Structure 1
């Protein structure tokens, strides 16, 4: 069992990136090689083509981030309300959303506000949400009935396009507030989206957080990778709010990991198999891509896999990876399942722990984080990255 305390570390003040670097591929890149884990290389994302070989294949999450944050007021009191759309309920016209207000009461009507722009302040929109009932999973979420002043009732992506704000992580919003940085939602919408994000689908509308390793890519970098002979395969995992949920249990394995919708096509599975059979590497872009392909790997090996599934896959040191050969990832929050996943990439499944029982993958990861902190790397969603080969 992996102690949650083993994944803790101290991040000095000011190291949380509140905006991405420009251009995106100018971000710093800490390179680790599993055959020599004590050696660190300091590069940039733009160096990625020279670090990969012709025939290697990038696995990219093509989900699109919804403008899922919303603001409004209670029509009966005028009290302010903020929330985060999670996904549609099975009942038509009903949302599942996190809601923050002074008091939660079934029957309350929330009038949504339009998003503020440089040309117009926020104003009452034609959309309201009726609070129906709380739900157990995730804690703090409610079922809300969407209503419109005029019919027909639009779908969630249409409403959110009018009223929604970019769902930046809480730690970025807090860091901006501390720095008296108001930000600009129009800029955030562009910067908190990958260049390979696909159009929204009404059936599975998108993510409420970005697959952040993908934020580093630019059209120029994709062209350079293609010229190098590095292939690219798209998969989809819609990132949920649970990605920010801290591990509050004594061990990581006891943590109730969140479920996320993911999908792989038969062509994507075939491309991964062909790449590995040819002796090349499957390089996952981000932990969401790892969770997706590792959820599908055992199913595909049995020859029976669904077009999409809900995954609760938890990867910790000692596990085996079916299809993942290398990983590009950002620096993650302490005491998180994402740190556990990255630590698992830094050790062999049968490698014994250190004398104090700590998995060696955790020790190697924390050494890499200490190196990044000492070298001035920026952390979290808009921060720098590491490449494990």
Structure 2
């Protein structure tokens, strides 16, 4: 596959309701209130015992309530011949804690390696952290690795992310990636403040390709046993890679969402997955994306009109009015207000309808965000032409 760059490809459609259309494009239209106690701090054990809210008809969330299930019932919710597409990215220990030469504590979240041992990172606190500043990192306790400390120097500020380019000083022939298990930690999202979760619980059981700073959380509900049962039911599996970065979790900060610029994220849609998708479609099966990252990867690879093998970066931003090219159904967690993820799911079933479903989930005490419960949007539940 050639390295390419997938660009945003939106085809807005007309809406019969001007007020709804305006809210679809307005940040305010994606607000909702969530009780603090519904923000999940720990994952359910076993993973597949989380709740599953099933959106299974076009009037779900409008005239009827969603169906309430357990995630392990997923094989019974899908059909033989369907294809689940999953994101096999792996979260690396991207959070580092260091100190300045003055002794002040610094927190660093690595985003991506730009050159050898030169990383784009978010730095907290970042104010006055200017070019030439140095950070010292110590190896974690009980580590006998060499070196026992690292130094990074700020090269410049990255205007697009507000982050810093950090040059890590390592002995010749060594890379920071090799040292992350010694110096870094798997980064949990900031709204998880009181968790007993182990690092492995913030990885999917099929995580394979290191490079993400956050987990593709819809996949956290799967167990090896559930994957086997899905296969026994004739529900096949394929994989893509999207290295979750700042583009996924960066908040939308402009009221007119059309002007929001997504940060690029690296994706790989291999030819084997494209072939599986085409074969599934030809035999009448449905394509169900496991997570918004998979939806974005597949649609990004089809940005020119037809799904093709793709390796490169995408800045695709999906919100209501988007014309879907590949994805039929979606498994997803419950997302933050005003987030691009909420907008992507709204593009599948309609913004107001999604907010109605969220209110029903809140009333039923569903757990929200990364360690929370899941929602299955079946193909028959999609709003015709993505209209509300």
Q: TM-score range by the shorter chain?
A: 0.7 to 0.9
CA displacement at 1:337 relative to structure 2: 1.1
Assess if the C-alpha contact under 8 Å between 1:269 and 1:300 holds in 2: no
Aligned to 1:384: 373
Measured in 2, the distance between the counterparts of 1:300 and 1:308 equals 16
1:248-263 correspondence to structure 2 within 5 Å: 248-263=253-268
Q: Does 1:99 align with 2:123?
A: yes
CA displacement at 1:299 relative to structure 2: 3.8
3-state SS in 2 of match to 1:290: helix
CA displacement at 1:153 relative to structure 2: 4.3
Assess if the C-alpha contact under 8 Å between 2:286 and 2:328 holds in 1: yes
Select the residue among 71, 76, 80 that pairs with 1:54: 80
User: For each residue in 1:320-339, what CA deviation from the matched residue of structure 2 results, as whole angstroms up to 9, or x when unmatched?
Assistant: 21111100000000011111
Measured in 2, the distance between the counterparts of 1:235 and 1:34 equals 28
Larger mean Cα displacement after TM superposition, 372-381 or 270-279: 270-279
Aligned to 1:351: none
Please, which runs of 5 or more residues in structure 2 have no aligned partner? 1-21, 379-388
3-state SS in 2 of match to 1:171: coil
Select the residue among 34, 48, 55 that pairs with 1:25: 48
Assess if the C-alpha contact under 8 Å between 1:111 and 1:125 holds in 2: no
User: For each residue in 1:22-42, what CA deviation from the matched residue of structure 2 results, as whole angstroms up to 9, or x when unmatched?
Assistant: 000000010002433233100
Q: Does 1:8 align with 2:31?
A: yes
Aligned to 1:313: 316
Measured in 2, the distance between the counterparts of 1:289 and 1:103 equals 38
1:227-376 correspondence to structure 2 within 5 Å: 227-299=232-304, 301=306, 305=308, 307-346=310-349, 361-376=350-365
Q: TM-score, normalised by structure 2?
A: 0.86
Assess if the C-alpha contact under 8 Å between 2:305 and 2:325 holds in 1: no
Q: Does 1:162 align with 2:182?
A: yes
1:131-142 correspondence to structure 2 within 5 Å: 131-139=154-162, 141-142=163-164
Q: Does 1:194 align with 2:204?
A: yes
3-state SS in 1 of match to 2:277: helix
User: For each residue in 1:182-218, what CA deviation from the matched residue of structure 2 results, as whole angstroms up to 9, or x when unmatched?
Assistant: x4xxx43101000111143xxxxx1001100001100
Assess if the C-alpha contact under 8 Å between 1:56 and 1:280 holds in 2: yes
Please, which runs of 5 or more residues in structure 1 have no aligned partner? 201-205, 347-360
Distance change in 2, residues 1:98/1:308 (3 Å):
same
Assess if the C-alpha contact under 8 Å between 2:287 and 2:326 holds in 1: yes
Assess if the C-alpha contact under 8 Å between 2:322 and 2:347 holds in 1: yes
Q: CA RMSD for the aligned pairs? A: 2.1
3-state SS in 1 of match to 2:198: helix
Assess if the C-alpha contact under 8 Å between 1:317 and 1:343 holds in 2: yes
Assess if the C-alpha contact under 8 Å between 2:94 and 2:186 holds in 1: yes
Measured in 2, the distance between the counterparts of 1:134 and 1:317 equals 33
Distance change in 2, residues 1:158/1:120 (3 Å):
closer
Measured in 1, the distance between the counterparts of 2:221 and 2:348 equals 21
Measured in 1, the distance between the counterparts of 2:248 and 2:310 equals 23
Instruction: Work out which structure has the larger RCO, using CA pairs closer than 8 Å and 6 or more positions apart in sequence.
Output: 2
Measured in 1, the distance between the counterparts of 2:51 and 2:106 equals 38
User: For each residue in 1:248-270, what CA deviation from the matched residue of structure 2 results, as whole angstroms up to 9, or x when unmatched?
Assistant: 11122111212111011111111
Distance change in 2, residues 1:277/1:306 (3 Å):
closer
Larger mean Cα displacement after TM superposition, 36-45 or 206-215: 36-45
Aligned to 1:171: 191
CA displacement at 1:220 relative to structure 2: 0.9
Count of equivalent residues:
351
Assess if the C-alpha contact under 8 Å between 1:86 and 1:97 holds in 2: yes
